[in-house]
Amino acid sequence: MRSALRPSSVIPRDIAHYKAHLLAVRRASPSPIAALSPFFKWASPCGHARTDPTEGIKGLPRQRLRPRALSPQELRRFLRAVHRGGRFRWGEASGPGSF
């Protein structure tokens, strides 16, 4: 049976290795590292951890999301609506199922 990991046993090197692992497996979401920091900021003063091992370790870079393109179905609906008349006022043809 595996023993439970105690917050007091985590050291900065563990956090750095975890960050490197996330980058290596291309799961570079900043969320796991970002969640550890507030946890240890709470655990340290409460006595659950001797120090804050996340202190001084930068989080993962945020990935910029590309603008989402229309799906082929959305594009067909849009072009069909424009072809039918295209005389909409702002907001009239918005929302799901409006085409």
Same domain, 60 and 70: no
Domain containing 88 equals 66-99
Total domains present in the chain = 2
Q: Which of 74, 58, 51 is nearest to 20 (CA)?
A: 58
Task: Decide if 49 is inside a domain.
Answer: yes
Over residues 15-22, mean pLDDT = 84
pLDDT confidence of residue 17: 87
- Which residues of 11-77 form beta strands (DSSP E)? none
Task: Decide if 1 is inside a domain.
Answer: no
State the pTM of this model.
0.49
pLDDT confidence of residue 3: 63
pLDDT confidence of residue 69: 83
pLDDT, tens digit, 9 for 90 and up, residues 24-81: 776 656 677 778 888 888 988 888 888 888 888 777 666 666 677 888 898 888 888 8
Same domain, 16 and 58: yes
Task: Decide if 4 is inside a domain.
Answer: no
